[in-house]
Amino acid sequence: MTESKESTVRLLITCPDQPGIVAAVSGFLHAKEANIIHSDQHSTDPEGGRFFMRNEFYLPGLDLDGLEDLREEFAEKVASHFPMEWSLNPVWVPKRMAILCSKVDHALMELLWRWKRGDLEADISVVISNHPDLREAVEHFGVPFHHVPSGKTLREKVIAEDTIMELMGETDIIVLARYMQILTPDFVAKYSRRIINIHHSFLPAFVGADPYRRAHQRGVKLIGATAHYVTAELDEGPIIEQDVNRVTHSHDIDDLKRLGADIERHVLARAVKWHLEDRVIVDGNKTIVFRR
C-alpha cells in the first residue's frame, strides 16, 4: 500500500499476554480518531506468554509536538495499566543509519542502490570502512565515506571504535555490510538491538570464519546467508532473516562465494528494510518479524 507518511505513526508493544490489551489500545486509538492502516499481533502463548503488537495508524494533522503529547497520553491512559515496553515512531522522520564495511562491495552497493531509489526509510549518515577501496563508489551516491583502519590490539580497537562513534554521531541503526571485524563488547552493548550483521552462512551451520570453504568441504547442496542482530557472542544474536540457494558438485569455493554474495545482499537488504519499517521486535534471542 502506498501511504502518505505525514502524520503516520507506528506503535510497537511488547508485554506479558493478558486479556484486554487489544481492547485498551484500539479503544485509545479510536477515541483519538486515528485511522488504523495496518495491525499485527502475536502471542507466544495466551496463557502466561508474551504479547507483541505493531500498529500503523494515521492521525490527521499530527506533527512532532502532537506526537509528544500523544506519547504522554498513551503512557498514562494505556501503558500504565500493563507492564509494557512500547514506542510510538513517526514514519515521516527517516531513521539515521550508518554502514560499516570492508573491501567487498556487494552488500553495501545493494543497500545504497535501494536507498537511492527510495526503498529504505533512512538517512544514511555515513559509510565507514577499515579499507579505503570503496570511497569512490560510496561518494558517487552522495554519501560521506570515512576510512578508519581497524586496530590489532584491544587498545587500538577501542580507539578505532571511538573514532567510528564520533563519525556516526547519534544513530538508529548500524549495518555491518560484510565488515569482517569483531566489535568490542562495550560497542555492542551501547548499540544493543541496533546493529545488524550479515553472516555468510545459514546459521547455526558454519559459525565463524570462512564459511564457504567449510560448506564446500562438507559438500552441502544449499548455501545460505543470515542477517541477525549483533550480540556479545559471535554469530549467536537474534536472527532476522535467512535464505539459501541451491549449489551442485560443479561449484567450487569461488562459485559459492559469488552465488553467496547474491543471497547475502538480498537477505541483508530485507532485514534492514524490516528494521527501518519497525517490523522487527526482539524477544530474548529470537525475533518477531511482522512481514507482509
In the complex, the residues that contact its own copies under the rule CB under 8 A are 1-2, 19-20, 22-23, 26-27, 29-30, 33-43, 45-47, 58, 105-106, 109, 113, 117, 119, 140, 202-206, 218-222, 224, 238-244, 248-252, 254-255, 258, 262, 266, 283, 285-289, 291-292
Q: Which residues on neighbouring strands pair with residue 99, listed in sequence order? A: 127, 175
Beta carbons of 172 and 191 less than 8 angstroms apart:
no
**Does 40 qualify as catalytic in the annotation?**
no
Which of 54/161 has CB closer to its own copies? 54
Smallest gap from residue 111 Cβ to its own copies (A): 13
CB 56 within 8 A of CB 10: yes
Distance between CA atoms of residues 70 and 58, nearest Å: 13
How near is the Cβ of 157 to its own copies at its closest, in Å? 28
The one catalytic residue in 235, 254, 262, 278 is 235
> Residue 145 and residue 167: Cα distance in Å, rounded?
10
C-alpha cell at 148: 578508519
Nearest approach in angstroms of CB 179 to its own copies is 19
DSSP strand E in the chain: where?
A: 8-16, 35-43, 50-58, 85-90, 95-101, 122-129, 145-147, 173-177, 195-199, 222-229, 239-246, 280-283, 286-289
Residue closer to its own copies (CB basis): 44 or 184: 44
Nearer to its own copies, 168 or 271 (CB): 271
Least distance from its own copies to the Cβ atom of residue 23, Å: 4
Give the residue numbers marked as catalytic: 235
